[in-house]
């Protein structure tokens, strides 16, 4: 390699390390190790209370869902939470909370029961309305049919809410 090629290679490396954003103006997106890709204009979020509109009601689910999404956003982004009118807004409702028999075994008995939770979410990005959407997310957990729902419900709901908030986060913040 000649000296001229070495200088060209060095300059190319410098250009790549500094990035095109310092040399050429362009759009900028912030990335994090959590998978979030948030525009620098976005500074805040709001999560509105998720009312429970399901036929079967878990009295704590609305509050748990709302807090789980708030906690997820606080833990995995650097955004500040606002009560209302955040740059990113999450609102919706719990539309389904049901159990159903699964894995029918000998004698038409269910070996397991499935608890399913569905949430309809409206996501509004007040800095870029092209990213707005409204979607329904569902998650479930199975448990042994010999167990009573009330004895395993708290653990199941916690796991289901983790799945739901991960899906909502990926659809909104991570843009998956």
**Nearest by Cα to 114 from 91, 147, 72:** 147
What distance lies between CA 160 and its chain's CA centroid? 12
pTM: 0.76
Q: Which residue reads 């049919």 in tokens? A: 145
- 159 burial (CB, 10 Å; 0-12 / 13-18 / 19+) is middle
Which stretches within 19-148 are classed as H helix?
20-23, 61-76
> What percent of the chain clears pLDDT 70, i.e. is strictly above it?
76
**Above 70 in pLDDT, residue 21?**
no
pLDDT at 109: 75
CA proximity to 88, closest of 104, 72, 101, 103: 72
Q: Of the candidates 79, 69, 67, 66, which has an alpha carbon nearest to the alpha carbon of residue 32?
A: 79
As given in the structure block, the two tokens for residue 86 are: 């955040």
d(Cα 91, Cα 57) in Å, to the nearest integer?
Answer: 19
Structure tokens that stand for 20 in this block: 């095109």
When pLDDT is averaged across residues 141-168 and rounded to a whole number, the result is: 95
Q: State pLDDT tens for residues 33-49.
A: 445 678 889 999 999 99
Question: Per-residue pLDDT averaged across 144-154, rounded?
Answer: 92
> Which of 70, 75, 69 lies closest to 33, judged by CA?
75
Cα separation of 88 and 110, whole Å?
43
Sequence spans of domains, the chain? 43-172
What does CATH list as the number for 43-172? 3.30.160.150
Give tens-digit pLDDT for 77-107: 999 999 999 999 999 999 999 999 887 776 6
Q: What is the secondary structure of 9-33 as a DSSP string?
A: HHHHHHHHHH-HHHHS-----EE-T
| Residue pair 117/141 in contact by the 8 Å Cβ criterion | no
């Amino acid at each position: 390699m000649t000296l001229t090629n070495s200088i060209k290679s060095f300059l190319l490396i410098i250009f790549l390390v500094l990035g095109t954003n310092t040399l050429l103006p362009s759009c900028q997106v912030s990335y994090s190790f959590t998978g979030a890709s948030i525009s620098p204009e976005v500074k805040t979020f709001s999560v509105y209370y998720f009312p429970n509109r399901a036929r079967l009601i878990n009295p704590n689910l609305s509050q748990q869902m709302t807090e789980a999404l708030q906690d997820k956003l606080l833990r995995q982004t650097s955004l500040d939470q606002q009560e209302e009118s955040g740059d990113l807004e999450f609102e919706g409702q719990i539309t389904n909370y049901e159990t159903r028999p699964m894995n029918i075994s000998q004698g038409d008995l269910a070996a397991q029961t499935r608890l399913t939770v569905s949430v309809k979410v409206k996501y509004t990005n007040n800095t870029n309305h092209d990213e707005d959407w409204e979607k329904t997310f569902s998650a479930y957990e199975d448990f042994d049919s010999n167990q009573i729902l009330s004895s395993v419900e708290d653990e199941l709901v916690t796991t289901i809410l983790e799945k739901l908030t991960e899906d909502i986060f990926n659809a909104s913040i991570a843009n998956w």
